[in-house]
Every structure is written in C-alpha cells, then in structure tokens.
Structure 1
C-alpha cells in the first residue's frame, strides 16, 4: 500500500470513494477533476495491488477563506497565504495502517516545498480529534460561520503552522479517517 500522485484516470475511483465516505457532502466529479488539474502535486491516491483505497486533495489558497463544498475554484491565487487541505479519505479496508498520517506528512511537505507557512482545513464528521493529533489547532475566525455551515454541523476551521511538530499517536480506525 503506497501513496502516489493522482492521475486523471483515477478520478472515477476517487469520486466513488468520496461518495461512500462523505454521503452528506457529495462533490461532483468535475469539481474533483478541476482540483487535480489545477494542482497535481496536492492530489494523491492510496493504492494497494492496483486498487485505490483512498485519496488526498489539497492546494495553495487564501487563509481564512475555505472554498465552499462542491464548488469549482476556477484558478489558484497568485499569492497564496495557506495550503488548504480539502480532504483526506481512506476506505474502510485501508484504515488503521497509519496511511492517513502519511498523507498528512506528505501534504505538509508539499506546502513547505512551495514556501507556505501553514496548512488549513475544515474538520467535518467528527474528525477534529484526528487533526489535533497531527498538529492542527481550532482557529475561530470572524465571518466564517456562514461558510462553515455549508460543511455540516460541527465543522471546525483548523490550522497547523509548518515547522510545529505534530502530536503523534497511533492512527487507527477510531479516527474515522
């Protein structure tokens, strides 16, 4: 089982995984395809014996302005101020192997490589604890409540400064990722 860059040919499988894992937050295939096209290094898949078991989607963005779900970006900002982690999702048969932690480490590495100093995300579906284990901190921002409501109840905007060590613990099935 290993992470690799997502290819356009992977998008149908990625979409199927997304639909299974996030039934309350569906995203159109063309939205996922646009993210992969706009920033290929931030789009990765977890492969095992030729099957995809998970994916990660991320890209440079503007701090404090998480994109609305199921919305095309059209372009990336010329002067990004954060690395936005849109989603890390792993199917049930790929969980408990530490692969989600690997994805986070890989994406933080991408952010650092392009010169960004923080990674931000919106934690959904009770995943805040997972993200906290990986160095993300809840970060309330004025004016964000309406946008967060589109992510569902309990959505939390979180930030990890690059260079801060993550608090490591065993990542397993209980983490929901």
Structure 2
C-alpha cells in the first residue's frame, strides 16, 4: 500500500471532501457546498488534502482570519479575506486513516506554511469532544469574550475555543 500524499486541497477534491465531512461530523456541523467551496479560495495554501491512490483520506480547511472572530458554521467566506491568525476550520479523517497520524501531518504542514506567511498564532473551535486531541497538538483553551462565546455556542454544547502560538 502506498504512503499518503499531502497536496493542496483543490476543487477536484470537493466531492470526496463533502462525503467525508458528512461521515465524520453531525448534521448541524456539515457545511453546505457553497460554504465549503468558499474556504478553498480563502488563504488556499493552508487548505490541505491527504490522499492515496486517488482516494481522499483526510483534509484540513484552514485559512487566514481575524483573531478571536471565527466565522459561523455555513458562512460563505469572501475570497479576499485575510487575517493575522491561522484559523483551523475543519479537520476530517476517514475511518480507514484514523490513528495513523495523518491529521497531525496535515496540521503541522499548515503550521509551516502559516509561519512562512508571517502568521504567529493559530485558533480553532474544538467540537464533539476533540479538545484533548487539540491539546496534544499544543492548543489551549482560551477565555472567550461574550461575542466569541456566542459564536462558539453555535458549534455545539461541547465546543471549546482554543488557540496556540506558532
């Protein structure tokens, strides 16, 4: 079996990425196609795919964004959006690739790209109990303003805002 290849997440990946997203996230967190596709155009170098033999094993949607102001679930992003922070919007790993370290590889590759672009901070909203996973990658929970807490609440009752320096 060949090793996975990391590549930029591109429009050609969209059908498989949407299927994978629907398999790993609850329905209220699944982004509609226009919202998902808009993330491919915002800070595209931070969006990554891991594939083997033409099959998408995992993807990372990550884009530049303004600190402590994550976009709402399902929002279509303006392609001209930039920011001072690497926002990790979505990491999805297929069941067959879980436990292989492929998610960590995608995240670390995005960190390298972000640092090269001058970004020194990363943020995310940990959903569905994933906080421990993100802690192992150096993220820590942060105090949230009332506005940020309201946005995080839309990501589910166990959602937590987290950040780390790069």
Match of 1:134 among 134, 137, 146: 137
Name segments (4+ residues, structure 1) moved above 3 Å.
Answer: 75-78
Question: Once the 2 structures are TM-superposed, how far is the Cα of residue 63 of structure 1 from its aligned partner?
Answer: 0.5
| Structure 1 position 10 matched with structure 2 position 13 | yes
Gaps of 5+ in 2: none
**CA apart distance, 1:76:** 4.2
**Unaligned stretches of 5+ in structure 1?**
163-177
Report what 2:98 is aligned to.
Answer: 95
1:146 and 1:129, CA in 2 relative to 1: closer, same or farther beyond 3 A? same
Does the CA-based 8 Å contact 1:88-1:100 persist in structure 2? yes
Q: Deviations over 1:4-25 (max 9, x none)?
A: 1112111011011001111231
- What is the aligned partner in structure 1 of residue 60 from structure 2? 56
Q: How does 1:160-171 map to 2 (within 5 A)?
A: 160-162=164-166
Shift, 1:39, TM fit:
2.3
Contact 1:136/1:158, CA 8 A, preserved across alignment = yes
In 1, the alpha carbon distance for the partners of 2:33 and 2:57 equals 17
Instruction: Compute the RMSD of aligned alpha carbons.
Output: 1.2
> 1:138: how far off?
0.3
Task: Determine the C-alpha separation between the residues in 2 that align with 1:129 and 1:42.
Answer: 23
Count of residues paired in the alignment = 161
CA distance in 2, matches of 1:93, 1:131: 20
Inter-partner Cα distance in structure 1 for 2:88 and 2:156? 17
Q: Per-residue displacement from partner, 1:22-49 (whole Å, max 9, x unpaired)?
A: 1231111111111112222111111012
